[in-house]
Structure 1
Amino acid sequence: MPFPTTHPALARALETQGYREPTPVQAAVLEAGDGHDLLVSAQTGSGKTVAFGLAAAGALLGEAERFGHAETPLALVIAPTRELALQVAREFGWLYADSGARIVTCVGGMDARREQRALASGAHIVVGTPGRLRDHLERGNLDLSALRVVVLDEADEMLDLGFREDLEGILDTTPDSRRTFLFSATIAKDIATLAKRYQRDAVRIDTIRRDTPHGDIEYRAVRVAPNEIENAVVNILRYFEAPGALIFCSTRESVRHLYGALRERGFSAVQLSGELSQKERSDALQALRDGHARACVATDVAARGIDLPDLGLVIHAELPVNKATLLHRSGRTGRAGKKGVSCLLVPYTRRRKAEQLLASAGVQAEWSGPPTADEIRQQDQQRMLADPLFAETPTPEDLVLAERLLEGRTPEQVAAALVRLYRARLPEPEELLDDGRGARPERPERRERTREAYQRPEGEAEGIWFRLPVGRGQNADPKWLVPLICRLGHVTKKDIGEIRIFDRETKFEIHPDVEPRFRKAIASASEGDVRIEAAGAPGPRPAAAPRGRPGGRPSGPPRRGPPKGAKPRGPRAPR
């Protein structure tokens, strides 16, 4: 349906930007009409910034075509992060361009004196983060006495980040006559309490479909050996070749490591984490928007509120901690009607955790192994043959150069050179292990089984035994256990002796010469849930049970007296 009636200046802006019909949240907000407070829960990427921008127009402009002289602010938008605040300011910039709105941003990490001068010059709309806004308020730089509209964007995230006191300090200084729009992914108890205190008869709008996941996102769960996550990220990036990809890690250290690994392999990547300066973060985001970078490695906090164009792929290099994080990460793609892919990398040791996570989020994921090098090269061939470059009309200069290339060369030689040139710009795919186990491993038997994965050569000295909490039930396999042990323990394959895989754990030997170094390396090293610990030597392999009584006991008269090592019983009490 076409956009409902909006302010003429904003209607022109929507038309210029190519908006033909409203998203569900925009339609619901416009239908609520002027004069009401709004309590809105909407899905990430649903167009909520434009929604509250349109909803505020009536209170800010009324019947006027343009704003008057900028003095004290008429609208205040509060967002949890710098990136989201700057993004809101950009959206408002084009939405209110024809109305002559003066928009000022106040965010942490930027020049506070420049913001002070901008506020002193007058503003119609102020967009900022809670801490910086309260700082300007307490210093007397920000006057909220004339506010007509206050917007709390991603209020749940602001409370999670500890901004409750700042929000309350700001809202307590605003006029009672203001309209308050509260947008949140979920309306939990603390959000409801905030709304009850600062809103009046708010219209409740809920456009989130909780019975089905985001329809524009295809979820994939990719089985991977714990020591091959980095290589799996490489192959997924190469397989999809999305214009933009966001790769999530749990820690800053993980971000640094994966970012360095991708750059080393020739990917145009940037990183986002809390340790970067504001300029570094802004430059990284701009590189993504300009197309100079195609992959961004980020932590959850750094990526909060980021809206990137053409983001077709999200990779969870480390599993999300809960379903909210899974849905929020994945919601960075599949926005504004575009399709997207969300890939979870699932180490064999964490399959059950991943299945529980997907089930709690109501997500049906397609399970598979990582893309193979052959599959990636096949994709490369198809992409090359379908390259729009071949459909372009050549210029006269192109034709002259083409004729010169064909002088003394066959068409096959020229085409082969083009193929080599095309491949040269692509990072090489990695060779990965996948044993094809698509189904959940069968429940192990109660009896402890063992397998001799590696055996110590005859005559070689016995090593020192260690254990990993990974066994048959977690698809333990020497093909990925050995590289994992080598990396965590700073040893090589020749330093590892016998390996014995049981149902719930694996025991292995380390050569005595390297044992002190190995023990020191594993003291602080772990791989997800996998941590190496010292262990006693496993017992001898169970021999075949002798014939006779069930359970392997020899036939004959039963043994009399207490079992060996048992304490003698005292006299039996009289009945």
Structure 2
Amino acid sequence: MEFQNLPALLAEALAAREYSAPTPVQAAVIQDEAKGRDLIVSAQTGSGKTVAFGLAMADDLIGEDGRVVPSREPLALIIAPTRELALQVSRELIWLYGPTGARIATCVGGMDASKERRQLNHGAHIVVGTPGRLRDHLERGALDLSALRAAVLDEADEMLDMGFRDDLEHILDATPNERRTLLFSATMPKPIVALARRYQTDALRISTVGEDRGHGDIAYQAVTISPSDTEHAVINLLRFHEAETAILFCATRDNVRHLHATLVERGFSAVALSGEHSQSERNHALQALRDRRARVCVATDVAARGIDLPTLSLVIHVELPRDAEALQHRSGRTGRAGKKGTAVLLVPYPRRRRVEMMLKGARINAEWIEAPTPEAIRANDRERLLAALLAPVETDEEDAALAERLLAEKTPQEIAAALVHAHRAAMPQPEEMIEQTPDGRRAAQQERHRPGFDDIAWFHMDIGRRQNADPRWILPLICRRGHITKNEIGAIRIGPNETFFQVPSAIASKFAAAIARTHEGDEDVNIEPSRDGPPQHGGGGGGGAPRHGGGRPSHHSGPRPQGGDDRPRRRQDPSRPAGPYKAKPHRKGPPQR
């Protein structure tokens, strides 16, 4: 099917961008039955929705001469849930409507509001923005919606999930009753149905999502793992796929921070996105992904909404989504605009039944697989390495001169071996995984048991993950303060705001006395005996760092759902790991009022 019955200038803009045929959603909204009507459209993320609603509102904006209707007030309003999505929509509409003479204004948080008001005052035919900023301009009198002919709610379900219902209703209540309302939503929960019933009249329902709910371009895989193997599984999946760009989803900003630091330490080029990062930090992280300085993004659900990365081909659900709709939104970051993508769920074996039910409810046919083994990763590495080294390359005279010098000093075999070694050295090493069988899990539990720790005493520290507590610096601190060796320290359990650790009962009194003697003043971390040890819910203390034989602290056992929400705390550079903890003065006695 070709684009038909379009204004000439829009058709030319599409041809210039090499659009030869409409996608299913684009074809549906330009049919005769859709013209002039309110629309409720369900379409897969990345299916060409922006161009679709650009074409759908063309008859409302373009006059008989093929150019946009003269107006100082906005004729069309597009509301998007996030800054990134709004800017993406604006860029698409600029090339689509540019030939018609349309002026397009963008109003989003994090930008200069006074500059936006000046742009609105000069006149804009199309306004694209986020709910909060649009409402602010409306209440200040900078945004006049009295002449509006079309309102578009892009990813409406996400906007309601993010708590923008009041803002949306305030904005829509300020528009004329005769305006068209085009509602685009990947899913149709009850709040979306209620919103449509209130603001639309005789809406045409369009769905281009088939029985597979739009997952045809995404290959789903589910990997059963031991809970303590989460980070090992992430590392092996990243190494196995070697995706051009990958995004890893965690439930909380604390877990984003920890996993990001772990990956950077292991040699991955990674950035982080969560609610604690400023807009400039988000921009820096996204630009690093776009220009290939980074290949991995660790993010929370909210922080990743609206992100559009054309090279994103791998999504890993490090922590399970809360429901099928969250799974769809997360996975929809890949498999966009006809490109293939892979979404992998890491499933702790006690939660497999729950995941099976969620996949069944979402009508997703996921392939259950084992985590990639080091042998499989190395086999893939060999094939990728051969392909890279055998690919034709352009060389200059300086390259040729250096090659001749190398051949004079070494044999071709030695040069080739050195080249292979250099390529391998740049790759993070894969991890050994616990075999997902009852025998394998029992063997892992036995391996974690250390002689001498049958009878232990727990001690407590008044710092946790929110203060960047990490076994790598906690362990030397305990040894220095308690005059013991690392082999005399058992499990370390790091919670959101506190840390527990074990020492054998036989040396507990001696250790406690040393702690009291070596208290280093008000700047020190407080350590004291704990009668009950860490809380027993959620794996004990909210995120442990179990220690294995040989006295070396292992990697953190993986992101935990405890440790809270996604509310702003300390900001940090999203492309760098968290630094060491700097202790705050320890207050003794009751808090001062």
**Shared fold (TM-score, shorter chain, > 0.5):** yes
> What is the CA distance between 1:437 and its match in structure 2?
7.0
| Whole-Å separation in 2 of the counterparts to 1:130 and 1:240 | 38
Q: 1:385 to 1:172 in 2, by over 3 A?
A: same
8 A contact 1:34–1:59 mirrored in 2: no
> What is the CA distance between 1:369 and its match in structure 2?
2.5
1:552 aligned partner: none
2:243 aligned partner: 242
Q: 1:333 to 1:64 in 2, by over 3 A?
A: same
1:298 aligned partner: 299
Report the 3-state secondary structure (helix = DSSP H, G, I; strand = E; otherwise coil) of the residue aligned with 1:274. coil
Report the 3-state secondary structure (helix = DSSP H, G, I; strand = E; otherwise coil) of the residue aligned with 2:303. coil
Q: Which shifted more, 235-244 or 168-177?
A: 168-177
Report the 3-state secondary structure (helix = DSSP H, G, I; strand = E; otherwise coil) of the residue aligned with 1:287. helix
> What is the CA distance between 1:34 and its match in structure 2?
2.5
Gaps of 5+ in 1: 442-450, 467-482, 498-508, 533-575
Q: 1:454 to 1:365 in 2, by over 3 A?
A: closer
Amino acid at match of 1:315: I
1:201 aligned partner: 202
Q: Which shifted more, 101-110 or 511-520?
A: 511-520
Amino acid at match of 2:193: A
8 A contact 1:226–1:348 mirrored in 2: yes
Report the 3-state secondary structure (helix = DSSP H, G, I; strand = E; otherwise coil) of the residue aligned with 1:80. coil
Q: 1:127 to 1:528 in 2, by over 3 A?
A: farther
1:50 aligned partner: 51
8 A contact 1:220–1:344 mirrored in 2: yes
Q: 1:455 to 1:361 in 2, by over 3 A?
A: closer
Amino acid at match of 2:354: K
| Whole-Å separation in 2 of the counterparts to 1:385 and 1:296 | 28
2:28 aligned partner: 28
Amino acid at match of 1:27: A
Gaps of 5+ in 2: 459-470, 480-485, 492-501, 510-527, 545-593
8 A contact 1:368–1:438 mirrored in 2: no
> What is the CA distance between 1:317 and its match in structure 2?
0.6
> What is the CA distance between 1:83 and its match in structure 2?
1.8
| Whole-Å separation in 2 of the counterparts to 1:148 and 1:465 | 71
Q: 1:456 to 1:198 in 2, by over 3 A?
A: closer
1:276 aligned partner: 277
Report the 3-state secondary structure (helix = DSSP H, G, I; strand = E; otherwise coil) of the residue aligned with 1:386. helix
2:141 aligned partner: 140
2:575 aligned partner: none
| Whole-Å separation in 2 of the counterparts to 1:351 and 1:202 | 41
Report the 3-state secondary structure (helix = DSSP H, G, I; strand = E; otherwise coil) of the residue aligned with 2:205. strand
Q: 1:122 to 1:456 in 2, by over 3 A?
A: closer
Using the size of structure 1 for normalisation, the TM-score is 0.77
1:6-17 to structure 2, matched below 5 A, reads 6-17=6-17
8 A contact 1:213–1:362 mirrored in 2: no
1:524-539 to structure 2, matched below 5 A, reads 526-527=538-539
8 A contact 2:222–2:346 mirrored in 1: yes
| Whole-Å separation in 1 of the counterparts to 2:80 and 2:152 | 8
| Whole-Å separation in 2 of the counterparts to 1:367 and 1:529 | 31
Report the 3-state secondary structure (helix = DSSP H, G, I; strand = E; otherwise coil) of the residue aligned with 1:522. coil
Q: 1:435 to 1:519 in 2, by over 3 A?
A: farther
Amino acid at match of 2:218: I
Report the 3-state secondary structure (helix = DSSP H, G, I; strand = E; otherwise coil) of the residue aligned with 2:432. coil
Find the structure with the greater CA-based Rg: 1
2:3 aligned partner: 3
> What is the CA distance between 1:133 and its match in structure 2?
0.7
- By relative contact order (CA 8 Å, sep 6+), the higher-ranking structure is 2
Q: 1:395 to 1:357 in 2, by over 3 A?
A: same
| Whole-Å separation in 2 of the counterparts to 1:367 and 1:461 | 37
The answer to whether structure 1 residue 523 and structure 2 residue 523 are counterparts is: no
| Whole-Å separation in 2 of the counterparts to 1:426 and 1:344 | 24
1:559 aligned partner: none
How many pairs were matched up? Answer: 489
8 A contact 1:272–1:281 mirrored in 2: yes
| Whole-Å separation in 2 of the counterparts to 1:42 and 1:455 | 52
8 A contact 2:259–2:298 mirrored in 1: yes
2:512 aligned partner: none
Give the fraction of aligned pairs with identical amino acids, expressed as a percent: 57
> What is the CA distance between 1:462 and its match in structure 2?
6.6
| Whole-Å separation in 1 of the counterparts to 2:11 and 2:299 | 36
Q: What is the aligned-residue RMSD (CA, Å)?
A: 3.2
1:331 aligned partner: 332
Amino acid at match of 2:28: A
| Whole-Å separation in 2 of the counterparts to 1:453 and 1:277 | 43
Report the 3-state secondary structure (helix = DSSP H, G, I; strand = E; otherwise coil) of the residue aligned with 1:314. strand
> What is the CA distance between 1:531 and its match in structure 2?
8.8
- 1:429-454, CA deviations, whole angstroms, 9 ceiling, x for partnerless residues? 22222245799x9xxxxxxxxx9999
Report the 3-state secondary structure (helix = DSSP H, G, I; strand = E; otherwise coil) of the residue aligned with 2:246. strand
Report the 3-state secondary structure (helix = DSSP H, G, I; strand = E; otherwise coil) of the residue aligned with 1:406. helix
1:308-387 to structure 2, matched below 5 A, reads 308-387=309-388
Q: 1:526 to 1:436 in 2, by over 3 A?
A: closer
Amino acid at match of 1:249: C
The answer to whether structure 1 residue 104 and structure 2 residue 116 are counterparts is: no
2:565 aligned partner: none
1:38 aligned partner: 39
Amino acid at match of 1:164: R
8 A contact 2:44–2:214 mirrored in 1: no
| Whole-Å separation in 1 of the counterparts to 2:533 and 2:453 | 22
| Whole-Å separation in 1 of the counterparts to 2:448 and 2:424 | 40
8 A contact 1:223–1:434 mirrored in 2: no
| Whole-Å separation in 2 of the counterparts to 1:431 and 1:190 | 46
Using the size of structure 2 for normalisation, the TM-score is 0.75
Report the 3-state secondary structure (helix = DSSP H, G, I; strand = E; otherwise coil) of the residue aligned with 1:367. strand
2:482 aligned partner: none
Report the 3-state secondary structure (helix = DSSP H, G, I; strand = E; otherwise coil) of the residue aligned with 1:363. coil
> What is the CA distance between 1:85 and its match in structure 2?
1.2
1:126-205 to structure 2, matched below 5 A, reads 126-205=127-206
2:114 aligned partner: 113
8 A contact 1:222–1:346 mirrored in 2: yes
